[in-house]
Amino acid sequence: MTRPPTHTDLLIQAHRALQERIPTARVATAAERERRERSLRTCHRYALSEEPRYRPPVDNGAYVPEMAARIEDDRNVTDGARRCARKLAEYTYRQNRESRAAEITVTYLMRALGRCRRTVQRYLRNLEREGYIRVSVLRGHRSRMCCGLVVQLLSPLFPRHHRERWPGKAAVPDATRKSQKDRLRDLRGQKVVRIPVQEWALRCMDGVYRSLMKTIPPLEVSPALAA
């Protein structure tokens, strides 16, 4: 009659199985020992070639207005998209804080963020997909080409106390409401047509579709169907 294993027997079996699974120690070669000694001697030293540093930005007084902490806590938004949203808020607050929509180009965002065109477009798509901005395409009145974007900042991007509107600009009470420096901006807004991004994508695909249809030969009707 076999007795059941005790707790000590189980520990001995587990220790024996663990020792069998541990691989045998391999003797280090001379090259590996030399590399280890060199690493221990030089790990505390500075690197010979440091990363290039850029010139610090000029303090021009620009600042980012108050934004909601929701975009910082949203795990669906990348860090680059958050930085792009802060740059859009800064630009919109300076250009057109009343309607919270500003005309901007991808080239400007490329230079401001230091990223390539595809990366900036990916940032905009990420923010638009999560509901923080709405992007429209501007088409020139003389051509059918895109001449810029209109980025509309949506309510999830703003804190609760600034959900309706931003604070107005500091102005002299006796001054006129509309300055003459905004006349060119109004004229520029009348010369362009605002088109949603989805409709602009369909328009861009129309030319490819027409060219493809020209290459496809027409369908021949069989005599049986014609009769």
**In three state form, how does the secondary structure of 75-103 look?**
CCCCHHHHHHHHHHHHHHHHHCCCCCEEE
Domains held by the chain: number: 1
Q: Which residue has the tokens 């990420």?
A: 126
55-108: pLDDT as tens digits: 888 888 888 999 999 999 999 999 999 999 999 999 999 888 888 998 999 999
In a domain, 89, yes or no: yes
pLDDT at 36: 85
Give the domain CATH number at 96: 1.10.10.10
Q: Give this prediction's pTM.
A: 0.62
In a domain, 60, yes or no: no
Rounded Cα distance between 172 and 131, Å, is 37
In a domain, 196, yes or no: yes
In a domain, 117, yes or no: yes
In a domain, 52, yes or no: no
pLDDT at 155: 92
Q: Structural domain of residue 101, as residue ranges?
A: 70-165+186-205
Both ends of the chain: CA-CA distance in Å?
Answer: 94
In a domain, 135, yes or no: yes
pLDDT at 187: 40
Q: What residue ranges of the chain have pLDDT lower than 50? A: 183-184, 186-187, 189
In a domain, 156, yes or no: yes
In a domain, 112, yes or no: yes
pLDDT at 221: 58
pLDDT at 215: 77
Ramachandran class of 102: left when φ > 0, alpha when ψ lies in -120 to 50, beta otherwise = beta
For 95, half-sphere exposure in the C-beta direction (CA atoms, 13 angstrom radius) is 17
